[in-house]
Amino acid sequence: MQLLEQAILERGRVKDGEVLKVDAFLNHQMDVGLINELGREFHRRFADAGVTKILTIEASGIGIACITAQYFGVPVVFAKKTQSRNIDGEVLTTQVTSFTHQRNYDVIVSKRFLDPSDRVLLIDDFLAKGSALLGLISLVQQSGASIAGAGICIEKGFDVGGQAVRSQGIRVESLATIASMDANGIVFAPDHT
């Protein structure tokens, strides 16, 4: 998506060769006008997928998911990060490895908010190694709901996550896919949509 690629080039920064900082417009300061266009594009791509709920992970995904949800007219549920595994039986839980903080944490979703009749669209800001998205997939699978697909703002196409998720037969739509990046610049993979 050209609008997002342009924002990444103009307002993003590559840190230490492997982290793309997009805090000027996506996950700290938020450019709501731009994110609104991302939400519109996710809806265009998944309009016929029968989405009944959007699932994301705190914190960066929440704003993007909420704006996207307005196009679908469905609720947003976000997986909460927690220090300790809650075993009271009322929650679905899985473990995620944080790409940016390099540590493991449990994420939970209340069983009340994912029903077997739901068709869930997963939304997140980045797809890198796939841990966050695979965690969300696990939560949906535990609930018995079905997965409509995953909408990702920025996929690191050179990392393993995209293949790990697509090999499960899950449709992943990334609005910008980075083929390579370093201190000298960012190269995008072709957009096939």
Q: Which is nearer to ligand 5GP, 113 or 158 (CB)?
A: 158
Q: Does 78 bind ligand 5GP (CB under 6 A)?
A: no
Q: Per CB under 6 A, does 151 bind ligand 5GP?
A: no
Whose CA is closest to 113, among 157, 144, 156, 71? 144
What is the spatial distance between Cα 50 and Cα 48, in angstroms, rounded to a whole number? 6
> In whole angstroms, how close is the CB of 156 to ligand 5GP at the nearest point?
6
**Residue 25 beta carbon to ligand 5GP: minimum distance, rounded to whole angstroms:** 11
Residue closest to 186 by CA, chosen among 172, 175, 176: 176
Task: Give the span between the Cα atoms of 135 and 140, in whole angstroms.
Answer: 9
- Please identify which residue in 39, 63, 130, 162 interacts with ligand 5GP, judged by CB under 6 A: 130
CA 34 vs. chain centroid, Å, equals 16
In terms of DSSP bridges, do strands 13-15 and 19-21 run parallel, antiparallel, or are they unpaired? antiparallel
* Residues forming a β-bridge with 180: 187
Strand partners, 21: 13
Binding window for ligand 5GP (CB under 6 A); candidates: 67-75, 77-85, 111-119, 123-131 = 123-131
Question: Measured from the CB of residue 13, what is the shortest distance to ligand 5GP in angstroms?
Answer: 10
Q: For ligand 5GP, which is the closer residue by CB, 114 or 128?
A: 128
Q: Is 60 in the site for ligand 5GP (CB under 6 A)?
A: yes
The answer to whether 94 contacts ligand 5GP (rule: CB under 6 A) is no
- Residue 22 touching ligand 5GP (CB under 6 A): yes
Nearest one of 163, 156, 166, 158 to 128, comparing CA atoms: 156
By the criterion CB under 6 A, which residues form the site for ligand 5GP?
A: 19-22, 27, 60, 99-100, 124-133, 161
